[in-house]
Amino acid sequence: MIDEEVLRQKVISHLENIYDPEIPVNIYKLGLIYKIAFTAYGEKKRCDIEMTLTSAGCPVAESLIAQVYNIAYLVDEIDEMKVDIVFDPPWSPDKMSYEAKLELGML
């Protein structure tokens, strides 16, 4: 059985390949991912992701969410993906990683 932290890092590495097409930074470094958790049921494992969007009217929301769901197909240890979109707390640039702020010239 794989260690949860190793599994979390696998998921994060795939999240880091998903970009908002309007912002040249991946959704993980943008701070759009609030929670990554795992739930085991029988011999199966579900990844639960809580995320937000830069705005409630984000024009690429469906595409971003679909890409997050697809991680279940990319990580062998995950059988199912659950994605919850939340707007509380609302996203702000303060949630961005140092690397993201540096890349966008905000530092």
pLDDT at 2 over 70: no
Reported as a pLDDT band with limits 50, 70 and 90, residue 1 is low
Q: Cα–Cα distances in Å, from 25 out to 15, 22, 78?
A: 11, 9, 25
| 55-105 tens-digit pLDDT | 888 888 899 999 999 999 999 999 999 999 999 999 999 999 999 999 999
pLDDT at 47 over 80: yes
Q: What is the value of pTM for the model shown?
A: 0.91
| 3-state helix/strand/coil string of 94-106 | HHCCHHHHHHCCC
Indicate the average pLDDT of the chain: 93
